[in-house]
């Protein structure tokens, strides 16, 4: 892959550069305000380097999952405003993706200027399975610029027009964020320093099954928390009350436990409540004693101690998925405790994007305490599964043609 530094050495002053960034930030449903600007901040190093080199930067990004048509609630307007604040400049927003307004605004850019295109998913062709439909949109996007840079790691596992097809039409390079992600994840998959401990949480076993299968032969310990732990606990014969349970995955979890022996470590206690609510009364019980009318919503303090003990000597840690419903105050201590234990290791600690990265920020933990915080949950999991990521594969032709 041609790096951003390679591109800058060749010179980009006065040239229009199409930068695919991952600006898919969470918005408050009531106010429409950005609740976590982490992904916008993560895009700044590449964006600023291009500006400093005199490039005319046209940023393409998506937000949420609009149905392939303009939808005001998914407009990138708040992102353009925040990006402008962080860069200390005005960032105009085109009213379309690659139409008349985008063309006019792109043509008017001066050296070091930045333009944000409207949500690429406002065009149905962006996510189409039809190569020709995606190609037509990619042609229009490519016509806006002379060079393409992909810095949207959170989207590289998607075969989308702005991720895959545009790179086939323009000289291309990989942005600093994507380059760093690939370097770190390669360390996890090729030759991790041991002991290598993986912490997995989140709600569903089915979402993580492929990554569990891929990682089990490589890890020294796999610590399982979050909603997905209850399917494993059921596989051990425990009653799990009204906790989240994927009954169709119990046999699979039983097989994984048999194959892994003591390498899979499960919670020993959980925080329960009769309902999913911040006001519900909570009780902490051993996993063998979950009441029939209660649901487990976090791992308990003894589990945090046990997980921290497993993490203490680790040299490499990958953590993906919260230990409980950290968005609600009574159920965030499990995630907080495990997050602190991950941060404390003497070695490479990688937070695998998505809810885990959001938890680090929401709980007020020091982001700098981690070796790397990924911006792409799904993409990082697919990379660890060993799957080819279309947005990476298309950049890896080595030429940047």
Which residues are documented as binding site? 22-24, 39, 62-65, 121, 158, 208, 296, 327, 353-356
The arrangement of strands across the sheet holding 56-60 comes to 114-116, 56-60, 16-21, 147-151, 172-174
> Around Cβ 155, how many Cβ atoms within 10 Å?
27
User: Cβ contacts of residue 259 below 8 Å, gap of 6+?
Assistant: 216
The binding site for ATP comprises 208, 296, 327, 353-356
> Around Cβ 190, how many Cβ atoms within 10 Å?
8
Write down the catalytic residue from 68, 84, 371, 378: 378
Burial class of residue 346 in the structure, from the number of CB atoms within 10 Å of its CB (0-12 exposed, 13-18 middle, 19+ buried): exposed
Strands 172-174 and 147-151: parallel
- What tokens were used for 149? 């840079």
Is 39 annotated as catalytic? yes
CA-to-CA separations, 49 to 77, 87, 176, 296, 347, in angstroms, rounded: 23, 11, 10, 47, 29
Q: Are 290 and 272 in contact (CB under 8 A)?
A: yes
- Enumerate the H helices of 15-153 as residue ranges: 38-42, 44-52, 77-87, 100-107, 131-142
Write down the catalytic residue from 41, 169, 194, 204: 204
- Enumerate the H helices of 4-93 as residue ranges: 4-10, 38-42, 44-52, 77-87
| CA–CA distance, 401 with 206 (Å, rounded to integer) | 40
Phi-psi region at 14: left, alpha or beta (left = phi > 0; alpha = psi -120 to 50): left
Write down the catalytic residue from 334, 354, 376, 391: 354
| CA–CA distance, 258 with 216 (Å, rounded to integer) | 12
DSSP string, 73-96: GG-SHHHHHHHHHHHTS---B-SS
Is 51 annotated as catalytic? no
CA-to-CA separations, 67 to 74, 115, 309, in angstroms, rounded: 10, 24, 46
| CA–CA distance, 240 with 262 (Å, rounded to integer) | 21
| CA–CA distance, 272 with 280 (Å, rounded to integer) | 9
Is 313 annotated as catalytic? no
Write down the catalytic residue from 2, 15, 20, 39: 39
Is 337 annotated as catalytic? no
| CA–CA distance, 192 with 215 (Å, rounded to integer) | 12
CA-to-CA separations, 260 to 254, 257, 306, 309, in angstroms, rounded: 10, 5, 18, 19
- Positions marked catalytic: 39, 204, 354, 378
């Amino acid at each position: 892959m041609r790096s951003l530094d390679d591109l800058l050495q060749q010179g980009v002053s006065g040239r229009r550069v199409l930068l695919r960034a991952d600006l898919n930030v969470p918005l408050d449903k009531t106010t429409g305000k950005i609740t976590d600007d982490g992904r916008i901040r993560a895009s700044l190093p590449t964006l600023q380097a291009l500006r400093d080199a005199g490039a005319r930067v046209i940023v393409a990004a998506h937000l949420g999952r609009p149905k392939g048509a303009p939808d005001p609630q998914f407009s990138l307007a708040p992102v353009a405003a925040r990006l402008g604040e962080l860069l200390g400049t005005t960032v105009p927003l085109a009213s379309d993706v690659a139409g008349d307004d985008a063309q006019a605004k792109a043509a008017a850019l001066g050296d070091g200027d930045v333009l944000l295109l409207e949500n690429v998913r406002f065009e149905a062709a962006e996510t189409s399975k039809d190569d020709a439909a995606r190609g037509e949109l990619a042609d229009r996007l490519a016509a806006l610029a002379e060079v393409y840079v992909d810095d949207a790691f959170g989207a590289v596992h998607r075969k989308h027009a702005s991720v895959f097809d545009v790179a086939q039409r323009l000289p291309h390079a990989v942005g600093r964020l994507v380059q760093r992600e690939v370097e770190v994840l390669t360390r996890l998959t090729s030759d991790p320093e041991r002991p290598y401990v993986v912490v997995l949480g989140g709600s569903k076993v089915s979402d993580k099954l492929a990554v569990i299968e891929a990682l089990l032969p490589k890890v020294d310990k796999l610590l399982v928390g979050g909603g997905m732990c209850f399917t494993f606990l059921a596989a051990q014969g425990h009653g799990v009350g009204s906790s989240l349970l994927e009954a169709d995955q119990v046999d699979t979890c039983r097989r994984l436990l048999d194959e892994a022996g003591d390498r899979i470590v499960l919670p020993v206690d959980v925080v329960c409540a009769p309902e999913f609510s911040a006001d519900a009364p909570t009780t902490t019980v051993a996993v063998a004693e979950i009441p029939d009318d209660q649901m487990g919503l976090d791992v308990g303090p003894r589990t945090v101690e046990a997980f921290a003990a497993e993490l203490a000597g680790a040299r490499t840690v990958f953590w993906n998925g919260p230990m409980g419903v950290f968005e609600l105050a009574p159920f965030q201590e499990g995630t907080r405790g495990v997050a602190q234990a991950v941060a404390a290791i003497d070695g490479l600690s990688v937070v695998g994007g998505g809810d885990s990265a959001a938890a680090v920020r929401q709980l007020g933990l020091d982001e700098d305490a981690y070796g790397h915080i990924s911006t792409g949950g799904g993409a990082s999991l697919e990379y660890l599964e060993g799957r080819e990521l279309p947005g990476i594969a298309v950049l890896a032709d080595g030429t940047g043609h």
